[in-house]
Amino acid sequence: MMIEILIVEDEKPISDLIRLNLMKAGYSCTCAFDGMEAADILEERNFDLIILDVMLPKLNGFELMEYIKPLGIPVIFLTAKATLDDRLRGLTSGAEDYMVKPFEIVELLARVNIVLRRYNKMEQQLTFKDIAIDTKNQNVSKAGKHIELTPKEFELLELLMRNKNITLFREKIYEEIWGSEYSVESRTLDLHIQRLRKKLDIGDSLKTVFKAGYRLEE
């Protein structure tokens, strides 16, 4: 079953940008363009995650949060309201995260993954062509045959598969997988990418994006 995400954002270009990238990453998305519309949708349907703007017509994000909180759905605020008071209000209202516009779509995707993982809502079975991974048991197979990966190779493959068709910047990959800042001298990431290409025989599907990072492309 697909992860269902509700995007509550009144600016259509931003809503479309988020929706398209989340759909590319394999999520199912519904969009609401004001607070009342979002509340109406939530009366009818359940979601795994809500991405919520603060400055919304009819009912603002902080007010809508009062309605969402008893539902137990995790929320990421995504807003231009950047003061410390706004951040504190957002986080103390029960939101899992608070991001300020302008934002990088790759960072938003990473935070979505973190929140879903925290709530045990991430899909456990992922596929890419003839490659399948079971995230719960950390098993990888290709065309039905088991492939042995190191823990870091597995984490890297999972990150790439959860972000199919999206360029992941080196800095973000290092932060996600190794929990450290990227160093230009380091060849750790390149070495792990080479090993994945060899072990999984994925060739051109695992693209090197010049001076940026890597992308797993369908």
pLDDT by residue (tens digit) across 46-56?
Answer: 999 999 999 99
| The pLDDT of residue 46 | 92
Q: How far apart, in whole angstroms, are the C-alpha atoms of residue 181 and residue 174?
A: 6
Is beta strand 213-216 parallel, antiparallel or unpaired with respect to 206-209? antiparallel
Q: Token match 């759905």: residue?
A: 73
Residue 16: which pLDDT band, with cuts at 50, 70 and 90?
A: very high
Give Cβ neighbours of residue 106 (< 8 Å, ≥ 6 apart): 163, 166, 167, 168, 169, 172
How many helices and strands (H and E) does the chain possess? 8, 12
Domain residue ranges in the chain: 4-118, 125-216
To the question of domain 125-216 being in CATH 3.30.70.250, the answer is no
Superfamily of domain 4-118: Response regulator (3.40.50.2300)
Query: Taking residues 190-213, what's their average pLDDT?
Result: 89
